[in-house]
Structure 1
Amino acid sequence: MTTRTAPARPGGAAGTTRPKPPRGARRLAAWGFPIAFVLLGLIALDWLGVGVGGLISGFGEVAGLLARAWPPTLADPATTFAHVLDTLWMAIAGTALAALLAAVLGVLAAGTTSPGRTVRAVALSVIVACRAVPDIVFAVFFVAAIGIGPLPGVLALGLHSVGMLGKLFAEAVEQADEGVREAVAGTGAGPAQRLFAGVAPQVAPAWIAATLYRLDINFRGSVLLGAVGAGGIGLDLKTAFGFTDYPEATGIALVTVAVVLLVEAVSVGLRGQLLGAGRTVAVPRVRELRVPWTRGRIAAHVAGWGGLALAAVACRQVGASPAALADAAAGSVAALGEFFPPDFGPVADLLGQGLLETAAIALGATLLGTLAGVPLGLLAARAVAPNHGVRLAARTLLVGLRSIPDLLLVLIFVAAFGLMDGPVAGTLALSVFTAALVAKLVADDAEELRAGPREAVLSAGAGPLQELALAVFGQLTPRLVTTTLYALDVNLRAFFILGIVGAGELGYALSQHIRALNYDVVTAIVLPVFVLVLAVEAISARLRSALR
């Protein structure tokens, strides 16, 4: 429940008051985290053997590989495009499944619409669990439960996406104007009418925009799932690199990147229209439950119904019928016995070293990616970039980096370095992926900076660097801490991607035991990483609380 107050102070969150932690705690978090993060990152890079000379030579090796891979070829263009389309159908069906589940969980998890504390706690727990388990782990489980094919990929993408969409959906419901719900309730409407007439019209644009953003993410993720038995273009990429047919791999990669850019362009355009049109929500009159057909409502309906039609086609293409989903549920229950209890015996000797290497790769990649991503994100932000030309160049580079699936990055770097330097190659590959991720989040945050602090600093005679340090980073610090820890979280989960191509000891062991169908050992490997991820999430929550 939110607490209504008198007019909110400028820059504060209207309608809520939260006690702030002591200034000393905020200062300690603001200074202590960056120092600790940089020190740990440098230690990790030194332990992995990644130095300045290695960075220069490493990217030189990648450039040499790309030169050998040019010009690109496509041995069978029809098959390649068919597999890309399969990957796209898998992403659409998985996103649709996630949106359906997240809509229910979001309403149950929101403090303003949940029927009770117990129900809300259960809904929040499901959302957190889905977010904590990587989609690749879900995919392995469903492949074991129902066999190889696109359906395990759809279920994996759907369940993992619930973690993100459920959280965003619940936040959107809690931020909806309570006055509309009260007006609808005043007519004697029941709970369902209050939900559909008082809440749904307000949150629909944000829900659809979040779903479109998740579709963008899921297409990249479905490329990886193809390499573990879910079908699609991911297996073609892995096979081409495995046979060192680099021109063919380049051709497949270019087609994949082009489709990623197309999906992102459509997603960004639709999200912009929906969120722009949905800023003003018309309030229905007290004596009628009809919601006016505003521009936002029309846009939401067109996107929503069009998306449902597309999702129905996608589900048919991948075989995600109600009967198939019921069979998958039954098979999943039966498969649980193969994964539990975990068997730590075969991996007891490598778990400690493997976890240390996984954490070092994640820390090193996050540090390098953050150092590169923060400047790129600031230059790509309209509110911070020195001029339009610089911003356009930064945006172009950012979009180009984000269009490269993480599996493709790892394959390129491992092919350039060789398996002997697998951890170094994996660290550099993840650092490029992290730079794109951090830059995107920083650019979005920088666009929302308040002008008041910057104007105050400039009026005091400060120069550009002082303005950047005091007014820009002063406002960005809490979000930057969250962004950095989120990137670390993502990189910890990437250990399996590295293991597919032998770039990480723990991930390689996981890959081998999956092939041997030793699923109880798979659980033994995944559980410690899962605990590590939860620890990072707990630290992130504490730091966000200290810096708010």
Structure 2
Amino acid sequence: MNRSPRTPAPSTPGGIERRPVPPNPRAPWRAGSWSVIVIVLVILHLLAFQATDFRPEALASGAQGMAKFLGEAFPPNLSPAVIGAGISGALTTLWIGLLGTTLSIPFALLLAVLGARTTSPHPVVYQVSRAILSFFRAVPDIVFALIFVTAVGLGPFAGVLALICHNTGVMGKLWSEAMEDVDPGPEQALRTAGAGRFQIVANATVPGVMPQLTGLLLYRFDVNVRSSLVLGLVGAGGIGLLINKSIKTFQFDTMLTYLIIVLVLIILVDLASAWIRRRLA
């Protein structure tokens, strides 16, 4: 049986055989999938616009009211009494954010160790810890503040308790994920040497993720200072409470003064956090 001779594939001058690149069979599927994703996103956005009554023309028609509001706010009230009250409230807001962050560390660290697959002693403990973290993370801090205000009354103590609960859930989840991604080498070495679970966590897991834990903690401190401002709007103390009172009494120039103080506070917190990160790097 005669067979036609195969045509040799072209080769480069160096003798390397050149073959054609095979077509990618998944390319049409990817293009079609992207089209479906875009269509679905467009539909979802149309539904969201309708559900939220998103009307840019309403904002344009209300420009006159906004101009009147800004006109009553400028110039800000720079009387010593207002500035003194604003600085005192801003410091209270800072203390709420600080305590809400630092006092949640033991609870977040414990739940992070129990909620990480690499350090949890049992699957049931892992699931329970994850459920607790999910609950604390799912309930907004302002809801916790409303609950604690009814329990301990108005004031910054309710704000601290609210931030402890919510921050425990957020930091615990972030820390547990950092522990799951840690290099397993030191843990295996200690386990081979006969170290117990607590010794492995204390001498290998936590030191291995300490830079990540510190960075996440500083980030959460920034967030908690801003959150404590909002908590003041529901009676949890701080400068947010002063802003709420000035709005209700139509003292918009005083409100603007408090907002300027808040801006200065946030800038100082950001600068301090950046300085600490550079020192720890």
TM-score exceeds 0.5 = yes
Higher Rg of the two aligned structures = 2
Write the deviation string for residues 60-112 of structure 1: whole angstroms up to 9, x where unpaired: 64344223311111441222211111111011001112222111111111000
- 3-state SS of the aligned residue for 2:103? helix
1:42 is aligned to 49
**Higher deviation after alignment, 246-255 or 70-79:** 70-79
> Which residue, out of 88, 92, 98, partners 2:98?
92
Deviation of the 1:198 alpha carbon: 0.9
Query: Within 5 Å, which residues of 2 pair with 1:218-229?
Result: 218-229=224-235
TM-aligned CA distance change 1:28 to 1:167, over 3 Å? farther
1:249 is aligned to 255
TM-aligned CA distance change 1:27 to 1:198, over 3 Å? same
2:37 is aligned to 30
Counterpart Cα distance in 2 of 1:91 and 1:25:
48
Deviation of the 1:265 alpha carbon: 2.5
Q: Which has the higher contact order (CA 8 A, sep 6+)?
A: 2
Write the deviation string for residues 227-248 of structure 1: whole angstroms up to 9, x where unpaired: 2222111111011111111111
Counterpart Cα distance in 2 of 1:177 and 1:25:
40
One-letter identity of the residue aligned with 2:95: W
Q: Is the Cα contact below 8 Å between 1:181 and 1:199 reproduced in 2?
A: yes
Counterpart Cα distance in 2 of 1:60 and 1:195:
61
TM-aligned CA distance change 1:271 to 1:26, over 3 Å? farther
Counterpart Cα distance in 2 of 1:129 and 1:142:
16
Return 5+ residue gaps in structure 1 as ranges: 1-21, 278-548
2:56 is aligned to 52
Query: Within 5 Å, which residues of 2 pair with 1:399-418?
Result: none
Query: TM-score normalized by structure 1?
Result: 0.43
One-letter identity of the residue aligned with 1:136: I
Return 5+ residue gaps in structure 2 as ranges: 1-28
> Which residue, out of 74, 77, 80, partners 1:73?
77
One-letter identity of the residue aligned with 1:67: G
Counterpart Cα distance in 2 of 1:33 and 1:165:
33
2:18 is aligned to none
TM-aligned CA distance change 1:111 to 1:32, over 3 Å? farther
One-letter identity of the residue aligned with 2:58: G
Counterpart Cα distance in 2 of 1:270 and 1:36:
45
Query: Within 5 Å, which residues of 2 pair with 1:118-129?
Result: 118-129=124-135
- 3-state SS of the aligned residue for 2:75? coil
Counterpart Cα distance in 2 of 1:247 and 1:235:
16
Counterpart Cα distance in 2 of 1:110 and 1:60:
54
One-letter identity of the residue aligned with 2:43: A
TM-aligned CA distance change 1:25 to 1:136, over 3 Å? farther
Q: Is the Cα contact below 8 Å between 1:101 and 1:162 reproduced in 2?
A: yes
Counterpart Cα distance in 2 of 1:59 and 1:143:
36
Aligned CA-pair RMSD: 2.3
1:164 is aligned to 170
TM-aligned CA distance change 1:122 to 1:81, over 3 Å? same
- 3-state SS of the aligned residue for 2:121? coil
Deviation of the 1:264 alpha carbon: 2.1
Write the deviation string for residues 344-371 of structure 1: whole angstroms up to 9, x where unpaired: xxxxxxxxxxxxxxxxxxxxxxxxxxxx
TM-aligned CA distance change 1:30 to 1:243, over 3 Å? same
Counterpart Cα distance in 2 of 1:119 and 1:228:
36
Deviation of the 1:273 alpha carbon: 5.3
Write the deviation string for residues 378-435 of structure 1: whole angstroms up to 9, x where unpaired: xxxxxxxxxxxxxxxxxxxxxxxxxxxxxxxxxxxxxxxxxxxxxxxxxxxxxxxxxx
Moved runs in structure 1, 4+ residues, more than 6 A? 22-26
1:319 is aligned to none
One-letter identity of the residue aligned with 1:71: P
Counterpart Cα distance in 2 of 1:128 and 1:164:
8
Alignment partner of 1:179 is 2:185: yes
Counterpart Cα distance in 1 of 2:45 and 2:273:
35
One-letter identity of the residue aligned with 2:41: P
Alignment partner of 1:149 is 2:155: yes
TM-aligned CA distance change 1:25 to 1:195, over 3 Å? farther
- 3-state SS of the aligned residue for 2:272? helix
Deviation of the 1:53 alpha carbon: 2.5
Counterpart Cα distance in 2 of 1:120 and 1:82:
43
